[in-house]
């Protein structure tokens, strides 16, 4: 994904059973190679990981102001 992978978007390199198509290949991004999944972040299953990572993303999203106050 040349422009990067946004949070919540499935990687184009994942197979239907969530295996990496470019595992072990030089074009695999460093972030993937260095990722160490932890149970407290990723849970025990894909379903739990999606819930936990969605909550983390929402909790750390930048706040968008509802209005702008002009001087």
Domain boundaries, the chain: 30-59
- Cα–Cα distance for residue pair 22/26, rounded to 1 Å: 8
Measured CA to CA, the distance from residue 51 to residue 55 in angstroms comes to 6
Predicted pLDDT at 62? 81
- Per-residue DSSP letters for 11-56? PTTB-TTS-BTTTTSTTS-HHHHH----HHHH-SSHHHHHHHHHHH
What are the residues whose beta carbons fall under 8 Å from the beta carbon of 48, sequence distance 6 or more? 42
pLDDT digits (tens, 9 = 90+) for 23-39: 999 999 888 888 888 89
Mean pLDDT of 19-23: 93
pTM, two decimal places: 0.56
**CA 23-32-25 angle, 5° bins:** 30
């Amino acid at each position: 994904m040349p422009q990067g992978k946004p949070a919540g978007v499935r990687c184009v390199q994942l197979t239907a059973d969530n295996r990496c198509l470019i595992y072990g290949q030089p074009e695999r991004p460093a972030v993937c190679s260095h990722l160490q999944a932890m149970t407290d972040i990723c849970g025990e299953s894909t379903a739990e990981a999606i819930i936990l990572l969605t909550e983390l993303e929402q909790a750390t999203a930048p706040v968008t102001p509802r209005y702008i106050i002009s001087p």
